[in-house]
Amino acid sequence: MRIYFDNAATTAIDPEVFEEMTRVMRDYYGNPSSIHAHGREVRTLIEKARKTVAHLLNVSPSEIFFTSGGTEADNMAIRMGLESYGINHAISSPIEHHAVLHTLEELERSKGLKYSLLDVDSKGNINLEQLEELLQNSPRTLVSLMHANNEIGTLLDIERVSEICQKYDALFHCDTVQTMGHYKYDLTKLHVDFVTCAAHKLHGPKGVGFIYINHNIKIKPLLFGGAQERNMRGGTENVYGIVGLAKALELAYNEIEDHQRYIQSLKTYMIQQINEHIPDCTFNGEIEPEKSLYTVLNVCFPEMDMADMLLFNLDIAGISASGGSACSSGTNIGSHVLTAIGGHPDRPSVRFSFSKYNTKEEVDIVVSKIKEIFLHEVLR
């Protein structure tokens, strides 16, 4: 039996989502851009899915655009937000996903974009005073900050960032790929211009996501082609993926409080078991429930000779997780997130990420296996 603790990378598809998608694949094969009956019935499925997503976020269906996933959605928000408004300065942080950081780096090379990276503390908290200072000097800019860090789970005070951006007339893009479906959003009460989502992080299919674009924002398309997505994204729609996304988000919202309590209990239990059975461990990022994404726990283990083999040994033991270490200057690539928060380059870190399908029994097995690995290391 394998244990899957890498849900921040991707989640298992929900059986109800799978059933809905296969029904669409089997019975609805028309091109949604065709005007005949076969096309119209498929177009109806897409618009029904759009209305479902919009209803859950309390926005207009006209503000939801389907994409191939979070990376495309992030690129669309950043590239076209900057270009459409003639903005030449962006603000982000060094712990953002590479879909954001690499996009900013490329725009710096190709377009001469100037961007600022905010300071972060040892837990991955963003310096919001610095954000306000930067916006005082450059008020009309684009701010791109994720709601929860994908490696360490630290949550952003999204309401506070929203207030600061509104105060200085800045565009605010929030990458919610890790949090969509895990927290409820009412986007009419939150001043945010762009929100991005990937379905496979919430028990939906891979290769589909969406971007929310506030109705007050008018941007150019990133992808040109046909008139799909109201002329905002060329290309035939991934119909069964879109249907699966909407179903997955609907299921997540229906069960969200129960899942929060259950998954947080798994995380809390694993923290307790690690503290009890594996000495000298610390945790990367915030771990207090109100400050941390409840699906993610990043553990920094004691220094060991074969640190780079820890994940491999876990894999051999039947445990799927992810991780790495902070960059050691000139010797490895490492994790840019752990480096930014001052992580120890000689200590291995592992991200364990949970879902509704995990159990306390699995936590016990994982902690026991890790204990065996470190005991073997000591006896070598």
Do 232 and 270 fall into the same domain? no
Instruction: Work out the pLDDT band at 40, boundaries 50, 70, 90.
Output: very high
Do 203 and 343 fall into the same domain? no
Instruction: Work out the pLDDT band at 60, boundaries 50, 70, 90.
Output: very high
Structural domain ending residue among the three candidates 254, 281, 300: 254
- Long-range CB pairs of 362-368 (<8 Å, 24+ gap) are 362/3, 362/5, 363/266, 363/269, 363/270, 363/273, 364/273, 365/3, 365/319, 366/3, 366/5, 366/270, 366/314, 366/319, 367/270, 367/273, 367/274, 367/277, 367/278, 368/277
* Separation CA 354–CA 328 (nearest Å): 29
Is 300 annotated in the active site?
no
* Separation CA 225–CA 258 (nearest Å): 43
Q: How far is CA 179 from each of CA 22, 89, 91, 168, 195, rounded to the nearest angstrom? A: 26, 27, 21, 26, 11
Q: Which percentage of the chain shows pLDDT scores above 70?
A: 95
Do 243 and 288 fall into the same domain? no
Do 24 and 173 fall into the same domain? yes
Which residue among 174, 197, 300, 327 is the active-site one? 327
Do 93 and 237 fall into the same domain? yes
pLDDT in tens, 338-356: 999 999 888 899 999 999 9
pLDDT in tens, 136-145: 999 999 999 9
Structural domain ending residue among the three candidates 231, 254, 277: 254
Quote the domain boundaries for residue 134.
15-254
Smallest CA-to-CA distance from 196 within 286, 63, 351, 322 is with: 63
Mean pLDDT, residues 256-281 taken together: 96
pLDDT in tens, 67-125: 999 999 999 999 999 999 999 999 999 999 999 999 999 999 999 999 999 999 999 99
Instruction: Work out the pLDDT band at 329, boundaries 50, 70, 90.
Output: very low
Instruction: Work out the pLDDT band at 332, boundaries 50, 70, 90.
Output: low
At residue 328, the pLDDT reads 43
Handedness of CA 150, 151, 155, 156 (dihedral sign): negative
* Separation CA 11–CA 377 (nearest Å): 32
Smallest CA-to-CA distance from 344 within 311, 375, 304 is with: 304
Question: For residue 115, what is the domain's CATH number?
Answer: 3.40.640.10
Do 58 and 203 fall into the same domain? yes
Do 204 and 334 fall into the same domain? no
**Mean pLDDT of the chain, nearest integer:** 94
* Separation CA 326–CA 225 (nearest Å): 42
Do 81 and 149 fall into the same domain? yes
Domain count, the chain: 2
Structural domain ending residue among the three candidates 203, 235, 254: 254
Do 99 and 221 fall into the same domain? yes
* 52 and 187 Cβ atoms separated by less than 8 Å: no
Do 160 and 292 fall into the same domain? no
